[in-house]
Amino acid sequence: MPATDTITTSTSTRQAEQPARIATRRRLLMCRPRHYDVTYSINPWMNPSRSTDAALALRQWEQLRDLYLELGHGVEEINPVEGLPDMVFAANGATVVDGKVFGARFRHAERTAEGPAYLRWFEENGYREVLWPEHINEGEGDLLTVGRRILAGTGFRTDSRAHAEAQEFFGLPVTSLTLVNPRHYHLDTALAVLSDDEVMYYPEAFTPGSRAVLRSLFPNAVIATAEDAAVFGLNAFSDGRHVLLPTAAKGLQAQLRARGFEPVGVELTELLKAGGSVKCCTLELRDR
C-alpha cells in the first residue's frame, strides 16, 4: 500500500474517534459600544493617540451579536454608560455561575464605576444572590468556568485574594494561575474554555508553575502559537461546538477543526485597539 493511503486511513480513523461536538444554548450579556473609544491606556494595546472608528466598532460588535443570535443563543443587553468607554467589555462586569453573581471590582480608576453599573443590572433582572466583592477581580476576564471548576488569573488585574473569595462564594474549586506577559493581562486573553473539560491556551503567558498546573489538568489542551496568541486568538467563545474567535487566528482554527469543533472567524479589529475581542465582549449568564 502506498504511504499516502496509510496516512489517509489513519486520518479518517482519528476523525471518526472525535467526540460529537454538541452546542448548548447559552444566555449572554453584552454592552453595545455606543460610548467606545480609547481615551486612556491601562494595557499595552491601548494607544489614545491612535484614532478609533466608532461606526466600525459598532458594526463589528453587531456582527458578533448577530452571530450569537443566528447560532441560537440568547443575548441580553445592558445600557452603556457615557464616560465608561471600556464598558463594551461585558466579560469584566461579573462572574455568574449557578445563577449566583460575583460582582467585579476593577483595578483602575477609569473602570471602577462599571462594577456597580453591572451589579445594578443583575439586581434589576431578578438575580437574588449577588455579592459585592471585597477584593479586586475583573469578572470573567480573570475567572473562567470549566465544568465545575473555576480557573482564576492573577498577576495584572485580579487580586489573588479574590480567588479564595470566589471559591467561598460559589463553593467550587478555584485554581489560581499567574500571568506574566502584559499583553495577556487578563486570563481570557491567554486561555479559552472549549467544553466542560477542554481548554486552549498560550503557555508563555504563564509562570512555569502555572504552566505545570495547566499541563496536569489539561494534558490534551490545544496549545496556541505566539502568532495566534498575538492576534488575540485565545479571546474566544465556545458553545461546545462553535468556537467564535478572531479571524486572524488561522492556526487555532485549523487545530479546532481537527478536533471536531466548528471555528467561526469574527472581525473585531476596532475593539482590539482597546485590548479586547470576542470573549471580552461576552458575559455568560450561567443560570441555575
Map grid coordinates 452603556 to a residue. Answer: 80
Window of 38-46, 118-126, 205-213, 248-256 that interacts with ligand ARG by CB under 6 A: 38-46
Number of helices and strands (H, E) in the chain? 8, 15
Helix (H) or strand (E) holding 254: helix 250-258
Nearer to ligand ARG, 263 or 275 (CB): 275
User: Least distance to ligand ARG from the beta carbon of 111, Å?
Assistant: 6
Query: Of 73, 242, 280, 281, which residue is the catalytic one?
Result: 280
Alpha carbon separation from 167 to 96, 143, 148, 163, 172 (Å, rounded): 13, 11, 11, 6, 5
- Contact (Cβ atoms closer than 8 angstroms) between residue 265 and residue 246: yes
- Measured over the CA atoms of residue 233, residue 234, residue 235 and residue 240, the dihedral's sign is positive
User: Could you say whether residue 186 binds ligand ARG (CB under 6 A)?
Assistant: yes
What whole-number distance in Å separates Cα of residue 153 and Cα of residue 115?
Answer: 18
Q: Let me know if 242 is a catalytic residue.
A: no
User: Least distance to ligand ARG from the beta carbon of 1, Å?
Assistant: 50
Window of 72-80, 125-133, 175-183, 270-278 that interacts with ligand ARG by CB under 6 A: 270-278
Cβ-proximal residues to 82 (8 Å cutoff; 6+ apart), any chain: 35
User: Could you say whether residue 89 binds ligand ARG (CB under 6 A)?
Assistant: yes
Q: Which residues pair with 144 in a beta bridge?
A: 151
User: Could you say whether residue 280 binds ligand ARG (CB under 6 A)?
Assistant: yes
Query: Of 163, 186, 242, 281, which residue is the catalytic one?
Result: 186
User: Could you say whether residue 43 binds ligand ARG (CB under 6 A)?
Assistant: yes
The site that binds ligand ARG (CB under 6 A) totals a number of residues, namely 16
Q: Let me know if 280 is a catalytic residue.
A: yes
How does DSSP classify residue 183? Answer: G
Binder among 189, 195, 210, 238 for ligand ARG (CB under 6 A): 189
User: Could you say whether residue 141 binds ligand ARG (CB under 6 A)?
Assistant: yes
Alpha carbon separation from 79 to 11, 33, 118, 140, 165 (Å, rounded): 49, 10, 9, 19, 28
Nearer to ligand ARG, 143 or 222 (CB): 143
Nearer to ligand ARG, 179 or 264 (CB): 179
Annotated catalytic residues are 186, 280
Binding residues for ligand ARG, rule: CB under 6 A, are 42-43, 46, 86, 89, 91-92, 111, 141, 186, 188-189, 274-276, 280
